[in-house]
Structure 1
């Protein structure tokens, strides 16, 4: 897997998924923004009047979960749109298909919660946390999560088996199909 062409495919697939996933996550927020502010460009949930920020945030999370969990588990087995286009697939380390438990560990528990830089849904989770608790997520925590993201990316590039942190924790790998 650690061949340059496959790594480039994986990177391009990531960019596609980051973009499409960001659009999916932003869609409900943009709709609420248009209704509340007359423009769809107010995307910071903290600026929304109560309870609309929390509602829009939860709808965004549902859209993100659909794209990053439902699609690879039930629509394109092991693939998001980016992986589907670039002929890559997430499988378990024993080459078996992923299941809901595996993808939840990989995508939700590790990527969305700790690899802050991977997807925009992480920012939505932080904003919802702030809206519900009135506690601002400190920059130190965000910085730590970005460091985790960078370490995870470096693992893909420099490790023999090209497994990121989320792959190692979820016991998955990305293969070419």
Structure 2
């Protein structure tokens, strides 16, 4: 029988990862902002002159991928720093080790793109889509992400405590032994 992670530990791990992920994601954007505007206060890529919005957004998104995907794939299998601190990890749906593919789907497609409102990398993603398409999708994607995130949070209260990102990737969050 698998040892599902408690909701309290899972929530605290989320808070740690939200904070650290925001710092990691914002750092390259802040560096470009400092170069362009001599301040780190401007984090709105839509106000950066071309091509600097794409550059800053691409660097910020790359930093987010390193934290949210590369760390749990290459450094601590199935764990971000928050999950490691809380002694929980991402496992496959049977409780075994999650594959790199499952972690990429969960962390990037599920959390950053689909749920898309609860991590700062999602804001960068929304702004990049707007820059690339010329259609302002930031608000629409933010509200859609909030709705999906709310459903996802409710799903963690039932059964095996699997959020949408766990369900689409075939993963579950378990306590470490």
Distance 2:163 2:26 in 1: 26
Distance 2:162 2:53 in 1: 36
TM-score when normalising by structure 1? 0.93
Deviation digits for residues 101-159 of structure 1, max 9, x if unmatched? 101111111211110222111110111111122110063443222111000011112x0
Structure 2 match to 1:161 = 160
- The 5-angstrom pairing of residues 36-115 of structure 1 reads 36-115=36-115
Distance 2:138 2:119 in 1: 19
Q: Supply the RMSD in Å over aligned alpha carbons.
A: 1.4
Distance 2:77 2:4 in 1: 22
Aligned partners of 2:46 and 2:131 also within 8 Å: yes
SS of the aligned residue for 2:156 comes to helix
Aligned partners of 2:27 and 2:60 also within 8 Å: yes
Tell me which moved more, 75-84 or 129-138: 129-138
Gaps of 5+ in 1: none
Aligned partners of 1:17 and 1:81 also within 8 Å: yes
Distance 1:168 1:132 in 2: 30
Distance 2:171 2:42 in 1: 37
Distance 2:60 2:142 in 1: 20
Structure 2 match to 1:32 = 32
Structure 1 match to 2:23 = 23
Aligned partners of 1:2 and 1:160 also within 8 Å: no
Distance 1:87 1:126 in 2: 32
Change (3 A) 1:118 1:95: same
Gaps of 5+ in 2: none
- Do structure 1's residue 171 and structure 2's residue 170 form an aligned pair? yes
Aligned partners of 2:4 and 2:175 also within 8 Å: no
Structure 2 match to 1:148 = 148
TM-score when normalising by structure 2? 0.93
**Cα deviation, residue 48, structure 1:** 0.6
- Do structure 1's residue 7 and structure 2's residue 14 form an aligned pair? no
SS of the aligned residue for 1:110 comes to helix
Change (3 A) 1:26 1:156: same
